[in-house]
């Protein structure tokens, strides 16, 4: 199974010419400003060119941010994001990112018995809704690496007609030296995580009883000696229901 050792083998230390970096950052700003000014003078029929300039600006911003990050984290190894796609024989992640506020990594699919109405046909169906409640610590870019697992859990929820929770927990204690580094680096990153090999995945199935069938109001139908055809689906008034109950009980 691919784990942390293989993940570390893919790490690299970006090579940046620190002396030339400030000039490169200024050049990025200059190019971004040029592209924005150029777009502002385009005519309507140059719309496609405008979209190309927008894409150019986004690319330049991304490259500038990457270079700035290299400078901010000079000397640190950059990990590949590819290992977040690694899966075990069951299709579950082999590596997970734990937030510092919870020992749980949890992917769940929650559903409920909803009314599914098509014309006159009224019945309860299980509707699955994806839940990221247990992964609030991950931003959208990191969540994307677990979409296949979300789909697996959703499929199981639809099959079982129940809430399904896939979870694993971190049971270790952070050493004192690492704890000091958390305090030191917390303000230098958007968020800190503990990247760990996933152990003992647990699948929890929580069934919800199906509500009783709803009694529908009568239908007005026509018979053509071959088939019944729907003419109307009407609601009885309170008085009509009271009268009907008197004749249908006892």
| Per-residue model confidence as pLDDT tens digits over 75-84 | 788 889 999 9
Task: Round to whole Å and give the CA distance between 8 and 101.
Answer: 25
Please say whether the beta carbons of 70 and 99 come within 8 A.
Answer: no
- Position 223 confidence tier, pLDDT thresholds 50, 70, 90: confident
| Entry pTM | 0.68
- Position 52 confidence tier, pLDDT thresholds 50, 70, 90: very high
- Position 196 confidence tier, pLDDT thresholds 50, 70, 90: very high
Q: Phi/psi at 162 (nearest 5 deg)?
A: -160, 160
Each residue's pLDDT tens digit, 85-119: 999 999 999 999 999 898 999 998 888 777 665 54
Task: Round to whole Å and give the CA distance between 28 and 26.
Answer: 5
Each residue's pLDDT tens digit, 141-190: 899 999 999 999 988 988 888 889 999 999 888 889 999 999 988 888 88
The residues spanned by each domain of the chain are 17-72, 82-207, 219-248
Please say whether the beta carbons of 142 and 184 come within 8 A.
Answer: no
Each residue's pLDDT tens digit, 56-81: 999 999 899 888 888 888 778 888 99
pLDDT for 246 beyond 60: no
Structure-token pair, residue 68: 């700035």
Each residue's pLDDT tens digit, 207-222: 877 666 555 567 777 7
Please say whether the beta carbons of 92 and 85 come within 8 A.
Answer: no
Task: Round to whole Å and give the CA distance between 16 and 246.
Answer: 88
Which tops the pLDDT comparison, 69 or 247? Answer: 69
pLDDT of residue 172: 85
Regarding beta strands 121-131 and 193-197, do their DSSP bridges make them parallel or antiparallel, or are they unpaired? unpaired
Task: Round to whole Å and give the CA distance between 103 and 193.
Answer: 11
């Amino acid at each position: 199974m691919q784990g942390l050792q293989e993940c570390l083998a893919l790490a690299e230390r970006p090579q940046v010419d620190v002396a030339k970096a400030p000039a490169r950052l200024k050049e990025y700003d200059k190019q971004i400003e040029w592209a924005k000014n150029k777009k502002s003078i385009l005519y309507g029929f140059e719309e496609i060119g405008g979209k190309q300039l927008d894409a150019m600006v986004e690319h330049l911003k991304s490259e500038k941010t990457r270079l700035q990050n290299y400078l901010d984290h000079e000397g640190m190894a950059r990990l590949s994001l590819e290992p977040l796609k690694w899966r075990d024989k069951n299709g579950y992640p082999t590596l997970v990112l734990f937030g510092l506020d919870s020992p749980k990594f949890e992917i769940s699919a929650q559903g409920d018995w909803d009314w599914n109405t098509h014309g006159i046909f009224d019945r309860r169906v299980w509707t699955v809704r994806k839940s990221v409640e247990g992964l609030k610590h991950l931003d959208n870019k990191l969540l994307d690496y677990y979409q296949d697992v979300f789909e697996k859990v959703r499929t199981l929820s639809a099959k079982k007609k129940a809430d399904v929770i896939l979870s694993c927990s971190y049971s270790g204690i952070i050493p004192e030296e690492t704890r000091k580094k958390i305090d030191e680096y917390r303000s230098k990153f958007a968020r800190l995580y503990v990247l760990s090999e996933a152990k003992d995945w647990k699948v929890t199935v929580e069934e919800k009883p199906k509500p009783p069938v709803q009694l529908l109001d009568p239908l007005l139908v026509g018979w053509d000696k071959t088939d019944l055809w729907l003419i109307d689906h009407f609601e009885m008034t309170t008085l009509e229901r009271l009268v009907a109950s008197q004749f249908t009980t006892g």
